[in-house]
Chains A and B, each alone.
Chain A
């Protein structure tokens, strides 16, 4: 009985950590998508230096362990630029966004490659502008193709986020550790955190499947 009461008392702490994890990952996922669109646009710009920079960026990000990126941004960059103490939470958001943008851009690139060239020609021949082509013809076709993989990338972001507890971000993982230290229970808080992570990631793939079904309605290929 005492054990159960003790466990219930720790729930608000864990939920507080969950909110921080959600906030960081939500912001990072949105920024990553914006970045990914920019990277794809750069790669398709035809301007040599933009294409080369975008390619180098993606290669670097894909080859860099995320812990190293986080340490570089939290310890390295502030020291280099003499910034003093920086916000661990924002460093976390930026690190996950920088990393996510590279991976999400590859997802978008793959989805775009699956569309036929005829779609652009058909739209241009009807007099649509480049902007209208992307808005009305290409994006609605890219989204359902890219969604499952994008959801997977967001899942990766969430699973990478505990690394931020190493730079003092009090996320779900850090809270679970704090509860462990308070209660001397090495198992319960971690298991609770497991369940929360599991449902968080599960709900993302559930939402993506729902959206995918809605977006593809009526047009079996």
Chain B
């Protein structure tokens, strides 16, 4: 597991490394609030200096070599406590960068990639590097950013992921609506759940095939994670009499009726 074979991980980290080299071949610059503020103003919306809008954010991600496709933008929103999708306010930025001691794009990229590996790809947490309490100030020199929050989260990744997962729902939900649209939900699931739970892809294709589902309630959203975490991939321990949402009942019964017809090990994931 330790060997870095996952293609997504390498894909995400490579461009970041490139940027890092072009800026400073040996080491990332140390954190400074003014540099963070400079960075902010580079990307802030021309019309509204109080916010980095979607276009600017896309540019920022591009410059930092962060993929827009994966979960990294969502993790950024979570880390910075954003309240709106694809927008970072000045206050959020200041608080976020200060907390993580980030003032450069490579540092930002590193922080997000670390979290993605931990939460979305379920990789073993990084070991704290030279954690001699005396040299606390120095940790920032060996780490690209202040990893103390990372280590706090790494202490209980499951809880951290749940927090992140529920945050994503709130973030994605239009303010006037109770639910999020099924397409949005599927896109999010494929990004944040599917890497850890391959059967989510299967559920998503079931949803698309059926085509009758419209929205995902908060309950269904949280039960989906519960389903992934507690039901085994071959669905043997799924109890249709239990309190699962009907969408999952539908999925499992369709799946099982298909499997019954086909050779038995068809869904051995």
Partners in one complex: no
Binding site for A on B (CB under 8 A): none
Binding site for B on A (CB under 8 A): none
